[in-house]
Chains A and B, each alone.
Chain A
Amino acid sequence: MDYTISTIAWIVLFPFFAFVINAFLARKATKIAVIISCGAIALSSVWALRIFKDFIFGNYASDFYIRKVFTWFDLNGAGLSFNVNMGIYIDNMTAIMLLMVTVVATLIHIFSTYYMKDDMNYGRDGRFFVYMSLFTSAMLGLVLSDNLLSVFIFWELMGFCSYSLIGHYYEKDGAGNANIKAFMTTRVGDVFFLLGILAIWTNIGSVGFVEMYAAIADGVFTDPANNVFGISLAAFAGMSIFMGTIGKSAQFPLQVWLPDAMYGPTPCSALIHAATMVAAGVYLSLRIFPLLDVAGLTPLVAWIGGITAFGAATIALVQTDFKAVLAYSTISQLGYMVLGVGVGSYNAAFMHLITHAIFKACLFLSAGSVIHSLHDHHTHEHVQEMPRMGGLRHKMKFTWFAMWCCTLAIAGIPFFSGFVSKDRILGDALIQALHNKVYIVPAILGFAGALLTAFYMCRMMFLTFHGEPRDKELYEHIPEEKFSWNRNLPLLILAVFTLGVWFSGSLTGQKLVKVASPEGKLEWFSTLVVKPDVNKFKTYTSEKWGNTDTRVKGIEKSHYDPKHGMTNEEEIHHVHQVHVIGAIASIFIAFAGVFIAYMMYIRKSWNPGWWVSTFSGWYRALQNKYYMDDLYIKGVIQKGLLPLNRFLAWIDMGLYDRYIVDGWAGVSKVFYTFSKWFDDLWVDTVMVDGTGASVRLFNVVLRTLQSGKIQFYFIMIIVVLAGYILAL
């Protein structure tokens, strides 16, 4: 296969053109717009499948990649030059990601035609699909990006789509609160991300992944000459970019936005706030893994992942809103991925990203399927509260089945996908913890979170689908679920991929993926997804767009090393043993969680109320999400930011402008009052008018004399003549 514009760029351009067309079409021709959106993403998935097939079955070395660049714009002129390059970078990870995103997005688009139908019939236009198309386009663009800047661009675009879709029900005030919270919280991370980009760009003159890896190999990032604020460039840039991950992937302490994001329509929650966009943060941290590694930030990453995985799981325990449980489980699972990155479990973290995307998309779509059927005839709203559900399995069998598959997957029950990926992360965490004390807490949090995950997911399932219906009236109105292509087919397809065999070695090992591996059957993920070895990027030269595909296999030999770089047989044995212990522990934990939920909600032998009353303080803390939302909104914003703004605005207009700027008018008033007084009294009255007065005095005399009366003149002549005569 040739990697040219037509084979790669179209993946992004199909949904993008769908967006452009639908931006004009959606208001009038909603149906056509829906078809265009769905068709475009379906076409993209065909293109993605082609790339996937070529990469995964193409018999290349596992670290083979293709990269093409073109100049977006330049500032060349007057002897200076500066180019801003864009390009694509495809390796196995990209290929897998592309397929996952397109297929999941396609299925969610199909489901949306079911879920959003009423919405559109009620006179709302098809803007949902407009934003969905733009979103998928941006997500695919991000996956294909060869540099941090273009990751950032698509990252922000996804943030915009997320903002718009959370605010889909714009007639509600809550939508406005939720989307502003989502956008602003992630933007806190994004601003740091941009800072990291600036740091890298300034120091190595490029933001390409490849150039970055090469610079890491050359020691640019660890060179003390490049230190920023006293810490190494690697730590500064790595931490800044990782802040982007914290924001986007809803990690502690910026996790507060994700539960609120559930205000949007459920399919968009499935696509954006569960399967893809939030996972983009983890994808980014995998791409910058060598940077985090060389900066020594991995323990911090592990801690953040562990805290998030466990903390979110605890909050999920007390949620009564159906979607809220799923939202917190998303945060928690993202925490596992980040934990995986932190403990250096590169391919397991990525595998968990993929398996999670599939089962979480399915969970949300199932939730949508449930919520959509639960229509409250009094308030005319969909019901999301679990206390009003129960016994739903009798009414919706397909949804029930699909959702159980996913629940077992997320709980980490063997033979399901979640087990394969999560177990590997926990196993690696255990190994790290045994070697380095720093990792002990994250590992414990990870295992503890796994117990909680199994518990709260089963609790959710038992409360909704099992037992007796608690709101009889609502239950009566639920229509019997009949198989329909746009409601159930996406669920069932996704459910099929929650099986572990797709990801583990047993079925799709060596036979399917033709990579020479000395160890026999291995998971294809472990074989194909490898940590980038920065030293191999030193000799890289970039390929320009438009060149015929040269297919230089820059990196020849498979880099896969089943021995994890260890040569000591004893040590390898030890690692293997720890992995086995970890697996057994996580199986035990998963079943324990399921069992506790069963005893509490089906057998009802154990009373959950006892826990609530015994640990009421904790319970309140969990219900209030550890008071973090209050801290941010009531504390930082309402007590800090807004009063500061009002104070500064008062300073500006009430003080500075009014007294200092307009004060000049007062100063000049003093001057002009004095001038006026001086002018009026001395210049005008005394001097000017004085002159005038003297003239007037004269004038009076003269006027009296010159009266115009001939008699008077006659007398005057006589008087004057008499005077003369007398004088003489």
Chain B
Amino acid sequence: MSGTSNLLNWILWMPILGVLGILVIPKAKAGVVRLWSLANTFITLGLTVKLWMGFDNALSGMQDAFTIKMPWIKQFHINYHLAVDGISMPMIILTSLLFFLCVLCSWKISKQVRGYYALLLFLQSAVYGVFLSMDFFLFYVYWEVMLIPMFFLIGIWGGENREYAAVKFFLYTFFGSILMLVGMIALYHATGGEADSFSLLALREHADKFIGMNVSLFGFDVPFDKLFFVFMFIGFAIKVPVFPFHTWLPHAHVQAPTAISVILAGVLLKMGTYGFLRIAFPIFPGATVYFSECIAVLGLINIIYGAFCAMAQTDVKKLIAYSSVSHMGFVMLGMAAMTSQGLNGAVLQMFNHGTSTAMMFLLIGILYERSHHRWIVRPDGSKGFGGLYTQLPVYSIVFIIAMFASMGLPGLSGFISEALIFLGIYSKYTTMTVIALLGLLIGAAYLLWMFKRMFFGEVVEECKSYEDMNAREIFYMTPLCVAVIVFGIWPSPILNIMKGSVNSLVVLLAKYQ
């Protein structure tokens, strides 16, 4: 079963090598730690490019050439099973790119540099683990392991209220994980604890069996697949985050340091939607179809409610956090459509939102380094920023690109994914499409309004000391600018990777409709 290439192992463990390296670097050599981390993430990025080059777009299942499968805990048939397909590949690319940029954007961190970078790289490895694992147990391990570095990164390097946010983040996600754990164990027993009981790929084969089963819960007979679909759904929905499980996100974003916000919004939220596509949808296709309308409604609420809440925010980072809630709603909506356009649009939106929202958070971080506050309007009603356009011309241009990419301007990446999602959803839920389009309107409104208040007008006195972006900042913004523009004009490189795998999922789900 194993392929010929060890590339996935290298990608997964390379950051851990980085961590080990950091541990032997003396504490005083902060500069070496930074360069080492940079080199490490750069190598991982290179390996990812190599993976991309070797990726066979024609395959709609797993890329056999890269699959690695060996027994881990034999008694329970748990395997160390890594593989990549069209759904995870865009996420791998996104992860590699964003972590590389995050090392650069954390350059100014001076508090416990070694610990910070070690945890960052540790987190990177865990994220790869989630996207690459094809064994449920392994997936679950990485899903949990990822919480540890996140907890400390927010809890130690965060803002004033960091402990609260870190604990909230941890507990909330952990609550979801427990439901997922129950689901996992239930699946293991439902398949009879046989050879492939933890294999995510093999579990799909049992999908029909799960549909007929019942499980006794507090004395009631409950359909097995629907019950555990809901369990899994909540587990992943917390991560996305889907309304009403979204309130940890604004806290976590506001308190997290810039790089962690970028990772959180750029990659970690996508793990939720990835979980749907990898686990909940293919293993419980019947329940997925049964609940599709609920998923669509929840996505719709995310879009509209998130956008409305975003518009009321006076903290710019909180505003972008709520915009993530709104944009992830589009992903949910696209997935609920279960058409080729909708699902491809959803996966593309996962990627595009990763790049555009990462840009927004990076830019806010750049501004924060100068201003040490993030108020659009201060609590006392005075202007937090003003006239940044005059003061920071280069920054403003990059901000405009990020902002318009985020609101889905044609020619920038967000448009194609949103258009595909709408096209996918229209044929099924016309009314919802009409309401969701309102989200586009509000989405433009809160971003432009924020931009107007921060960038137009006379330069506020305290902004006069701000310096424009330096070379390092321009350097790490450039790849994302290029990405949102290039994939806006020419989306095929990403679409070609995913469309085979996504379409096969569509075909699978279509059987149950």
Q: Do A and B come from one complex?
A: yes
B449–A180 CB distance below 8 A: yes
Q: Mark A633-656, 1 if CB is under 8 A from B, else 0.
A: 000000001101110111011001
A171–B60 CB distance below 8 A: no
A172–B457 CB distance below 8 A: yes
Q: Among B433, B459, B490, B500, point to the contact of A77 (Cβ < 8 A).
A: B500
B341–A176 CB distance below 8 A: no
Given A73-B492, A125-B393: A195 and B437 interface contact (C-beta under 8 Å): yes
Q: Cβ of A591: which chain B residues have Cβ within 8 Å of it?
A: none
One of A151-159, A442-450, A459-467 contacting the partner: A151-159
Question: Does A177 make an interface contact (CB < 8 A)?
Answer: yes
B244–A646 CB distance below 8 A: no
Q: Mark B415-445, 1 if CB is under 8 A from A, else 0.
A: 1100110110011001101100110110011
A82–B308 CB distance below 8 A: no
A656–B457 CB distance below 8 A: no
A160–B409 CB distance below 8 A: yes
Q: Among A228, A649, A657, point to the contact of B313 (Cβ < 8 A).
A: A649
The answer for the CA separation of A88 and B502 in the assembled complex, in Å, is: 31
Instruction: Give the one of B457, B500, B501 with max A CB within 10 A.
Output: B457
The answer for the CA separation of A194 and B440 in the assembled complex, in Å, is: 11
Question: Does A183 make an interface contact (CB < 8 A)?
Answer: yes
Q: Among B445, B449, B456, B500, point to the contact of A173 (Cβ < 8 A).
A: B456
Given A152-B410, A160-B404: A187 and B444 interface contact (C-beta under 8 Å): yes
The answer for the CA separation of A427 and B180 in the assembled complex, in Å, is: 72
A78–B506 CB distance below 8 A: yes
B389–A77 CB distance below 8 A: no
The answer for the CA separation of A173 and B387 in the assembled complex, in Å, is: 9
Q: Cβ of B116: which chain A residues have Cβ within 8 Å of it?
A: none
A644–B426 CB distance below 8 A: no
Q: Among A79, A172, A652, point to the contact of B507 (Cβ < 8 A).
A: A79
The answer for the CA separation of A659 and B430 in the assembled complex, in Å, is: 36
A-B contacts at CB below 8 angstroms, number: 150
Question: Does B503 make an interface contact (CB < 8 A)?
Answer: yes
The answer for the CA separation of A79 and B501 in the assembled complex, in Å, is: 11
Q: Mark A303-333, 1 if CB is under 8 A from B, else 0.
A: 0000000000000000000000000000000
Given A641-B311, A645-B312: A175 and B456 interface contact (C-beta under 8 Å): yes
Q: Among A149, A184, A656, A661, point to the contact of B448 (Cβ < 8 A).
A: A184
Q: Cβ of B492: which chain A residues have Cβ within 8 Å of it?
A: 73
The answer for the CA separation of A190 and B389 in the assembled complex, in Å, is: 27
B495–A73 CB distance below 8 A: yes
Count how many chain A residues have C-beta atoms less than 8 Å from C-beta atoms of the other chain. Answer: 57
> Can you name the residue of chain A whose Cβ is closest to the Cβ of B494?
A73
A78–B409 CB distance below 8 A: no
The answer for the CA separation of A157 and B148 in the assembled complex, in Å, is: 44
B503–A645 CB distance below 8 A: no
One of A35-43, A198-206, A567-575, A678-686 contacting the partner: A198-206
B457–A73 CB distance below 8 A: no
Given A171-B457, A176-B457, A184-B448: A79 and B503 interface contact (C-beta under 8 Å): yes
Question: Does A188 make an interface contact (CB < 8 A)?
Answer: yes
Q: Cβ of A180: which chain B residues have Cβ within 8 Å of it?
A: 448-449, 452
Q: Mark B370-399, 1 if CB is under 8 A from A, else 0.
A: 000000000000000001011001000000
B341–A657 CB distance below 8 A: no
B433–A195 CB distance below 8 A: yes
B458–A171 CB distance below 8 A: yes
> Can you name the residue of chain A whose Cβ is closest to the Cβ of B434?
A195
Min distance, Cβ B75 to any Cβ of chain A, angstroms? 36
Q: A interface vs B, CB < 8 Å?
A: 27, 73-80, 82, 125, 149, 152-154, 156-157, 160, 163-164, 167, 170-173, 175-177, 179-180, 183-184, 187-188, 191-192, 194-195, 198-199, 201-202, 228-229, 641-642, 644-646, 648-650, 652-653, 656-657, 661
List 20 A-B pairs, Cβ < 8 Å: A78-B501, A78-B503, A78-B506, A78-B507, A82-B341, A153-B410, A153-B411, A171-B457, A172-B456, A173-B456, A176-B452, A180-B452, A187-B440, A187-B444, A198-B423, A229-B431, A648-B309, A656-B247, A661-B247, A661-B248
Q: B interface vs A, CB < 8 Å?
A: 60, 244, 247-248, 250-251, 305, 308-309, 311-313, 340-341, 344, 387, 389-390, 393, 400, 404, 409-411, 415-416, 419-420, 422-423, 426-427, 430-431, 433-434, 437-438, 440-441, 444-445, 448-449, 452-453, 455-459, 490-492, 495, 499-504, 506-507
